[in-house]
Structure 1
Amino acid sequence: MTGVWPGEWVTSRLGVRLVDGARPAGVGLASMVGLAVRRNPRRAHLLVSAVLGKHVPTDPRLVYGSGLLLGELVRARLRDEAVSGPLFADALAGVPGAAAALRDALREPRPPVDAIVLGYAETATALGHSVADALGGAYYLHSTRRPVRGYAAYGGFEEEHSHATSHLLLPSDPAALDRDVPVVLVDDELSTGQTVLNTISALHALRPRRHYVLAALVDLRGDADRARVDELAARLGTRIDAVSLVAGRVELPDGVLETGTRIVSELSATASAGPDAGRGPFGVARVPLGWPGGVPDGGRHGFLPAHRTALEKDLPRMADAIAAELGGASRVLVLGCEELMYAPLRLAEALADASPGVDVRYSTTTRSPVLAVDDPGYAIRTRLAFPAHDDPADGPGERYAYNVAPAAGRPPFDRIVFVVDDVGDTQALAGGLLARLRRLAPVVVATVPSYGGDQ
């Protein structure tokens, strides 16, 4: 960690302020997030998580450990128990060995908890999966923005502030959702709680349940937002609880949207895409993972505890296959692809365990348009833009990989491992993102089979 908080730039120019609230994991808001400016007229700022592994390349053991810790808070709430977050502050501060120790402590065997865990696409797909892992006995499903032939939508909801608002639930076994067990709704951030209100209303109309839990890394809801959740619970005759690693609020000055729009307009022409000229092009290698048969690549159509057991067994073997392609690299990025976050996270984590002398980081590409500014006080230092490569239902569009190209004063990655499902492994990928990545470092592509439920 540096001495500069990666939110100072936005605070000084937009007047956005973070105010701490409860600290269930023993840390404050500024330890958990930085700030950036969105390219979105509906919302000026973006909270950039230090533990999500979406926009910021992060130790994968910290990412997974943070999700497991959130899952332990869910477990404690379901069982009315207390839980503490030992080692979390040290892991967040980058103390050597603390991230692995945090993860290992949270992976100790615990009694399984039956629940339905729903993660929100695209940012919380791996986070929700990690929460389900912590519960042990949970069925996991994440929402998706990719319609899949042969799957009828179980339900949908709208994320009103988002740049892409259509979400679908596409379980291969709808009966797995038709149970009166606790439903845990997982997102990286609760801002107003409107998304979860929409979700609970839609789910409860299909199948009433007695208990819902909202789980987020960061809870920014105000008193009026929390009151709306209580009102919905009373109206539906159900219980709705909430847990997070940290709580607080974001203070926004008047005119912040106009200021943000002006800053984006002024800086877009000169914002850094990363100093990739003069390096590559490097080569692209492909590694056959031997993904375990019958194990889904994620939770788009559902993921069971038995799937996790099978995956855990094969993770070391697949990590060894990747390690064999690293060629003595000392700084490696494992890059996932939009909703495909869990598989690359677990591969990155296994690779870090198998390669103690290598600095392994994890992040993923995204649809979210954000301004890049190469300043230590700003969370999104560099930006790679490229065309969509998985034939998305909403048509072609621009996608992004942040903080992958080296920023001023930061060393470059000397290998990039790109993990993609077979639906996204296309010619558009080769001519788009891969062409940009190979200007930065040698690239290793690991393709996993997109699970269709009949496998």
Structure 2
Amino acid sequence: MNKAVNNGVWSGSWVAERLGVELLGDPELTDLLGLALRRNPKRAHLLVSNVLGKHVPQSPSIVYGYGFTLGRRVRDLLGPDESARSVVLGYAETATGLGHAVADGIAVAPYLHSTRRPVPGVATAGGFEESHSHATSHLLLPENPELLAGKGPLVLVDDEFSTGNTVLNTIRDLHGRYPRDRYVVVALVDMRSAADSGRLDEFAAEIGAKVDLVAAASGTVRLPAGVLEKGQELVARYEAGGAGTGGVSSAAPSGLGAQFPAPPKTHLDANPLGARGTARPAPTGP
């Protein structure tokens, strides 16, 4: 297995040791994800992707290869007819590039990503709330107002699928405006808890549509009692002491000084989906 870490040190070790947070699931989960400390009243930790190229340096071929491969899996799931009628929606800000790559993998799908900024003169085609985010309200502002009005599948792309609240809020809003028969949720990691794992099927039955999930890996986060208070105390201690090169972020990984692990090395020869055996080499063309 190719490890996306530096010198064999997992990029979530610093936070995991201090907060007692654990990632449990597929063996490749820690290749895909690290942990960071977060200044946020709702969450003490942040899952940081090792393959998005957003917060951790990564080879463009790996970044693009993961999204493209997921798009190919969606195309295989839908078949040629439904793929040709699909529309891809990516979530700002983390999954905007990932959504582009998924749309490329599907090969013919138009792409739209959400935004948190209204544009004067552009009509809103939909909106939803991301309850755990630092900026909760998302807007959909397609240049073509009819983009979301088709009957083909809607493919929703995010970096992680955790509680499912954001996706369900999105589908609920859009299904009321532009009802369709099928939705596909795409994520690098499926991190739902056991309590949340059945919600997608229940919701699909409620709205009378099919909802599929495609992910590169799956697992859960185990949080000890008092983790939020412990995280807030840790943030306060380091901010008061002036530790770290970049401070503690409200949304991004924290440096927290020299003790924080170095960014993962790129793994140029890695199979994008690791041990699951469903990956293809990083694409060289459309």
- Normalising by the residue count of structure 1, what TM-score does the alignment of the two structures yield? 0.54
2:236 alignment partner in structure 1 = 265
1:79 deviates by: 3.0
What per-residue deviation string (whole Å, max 9, x for no partner) do you get for residues 322-342 of structure 1? xxxxxxxxxxxxxxxxxxxxx
Instruction: Read off the aligned partner of 2:254 and give its amino acid letter.
Output: L
1:367 deviates by: 7.3
What per-residue deviation string (whole Å, max 9, x for no partner) do you get for residues 359-398 of structure 1? xxxxxxx9725432234654xx6xxxxxxxxxxxxxxxxx
CA distance in structure 1 between the aligned counterparts of 2:134 and 2:66, rounded to whole angstroms: 26
1:112 deviates by: 6.5
Aligned pair count reads 256
CA distance in structure 1 between the aligned counterparts of 2:232 and 2:253, rounded to whole angstroms: 12
Residue 226 (1) aligns with residue 197 (2): yes
2:10 alignment partner in structure 1 = 5
1:11 deviates by: 1.2
State which of 10, 14, 24 in structure 2 corresponds to 1:19: 24
CA distance in structure 2 between the aligned counterparts of 1:164 and 1:8, rounded to whole angstroms: 28
Matches of residues 406-445 of structure 1 in structure 2 within 5 Å?
Answer: none
Cα separation, partners in 2 of 1:76 and 1:204, compared to 1, 3 Å: same
Structure 2 stretches lacking a partner, 5+ long: 1-5, 266-286
CA distance in structure 2 between the aligned counterparts of 1:259 and 1:132, rounded to whole angstroms: 40
Instruction: State which drifts further: 45-54 or 67-76.
Output: 67-76
Cα separation, partners in 2 of 1:376 and 1:75, compared to 1, 3 Å: farther
Instruction: Read off the aligned partner of 1:5 and give its amino acid letter.
Output: W
Percent pairwise identity: 54
1:213 deviates by: 0.6
1:63 deviates by: 0.5
- Normalising by the residue count of structure 2, what TM-score does the alignment of the two structures yield? 0.84
Residue 371 (1) aligns with residue 283 (2): no
Q: How large is the RMSD of aligned CA atoms in angstroms?
A: 2.2
State which of 201, 206, 211 in structure 2 corresponds to 1:235: 206
What per-residue deviation string (whole Å, max 9, x for no partner) do you get for residues 184-231 of structure 1? 100001111110000000010001111101100011012331221111
Preserved contact between residue 156 and residue 168 of structure 1 (Cα < 8 Å): yes
2:283 alignment partner in structure 1 = none
Residue 126 (1) aligns with residue 97 (2): yes
State the structure with more CA Rg. Answer: 1
1:75 deviates by: 1.6
Larger RCO (CA under 8 A, 6+ residues apart): 2
Cα separation, partners in 2 of 1:374 and 1:72, compared to 1, 3 Å: farther
Matches of residues 253-332 of structure 1 in structure 2 within 5 Å?
Answer: 253-268=224-239, 269-273=241-245
Instruction: Read off the aligned partner of 2:62 and give its amino acid letter.
Output: L
1:71 alignment partner in structure 2 = 71
1:136 alignment partner in structure 2 = 107
Matches of residues 18-417 of structure 1 in structure 2 within 5 Å?
Answer: 18-21=23-26, 28-79=28-79, 113-268=84-239, 269-273=241-245, 368-375=251-258, 378=261
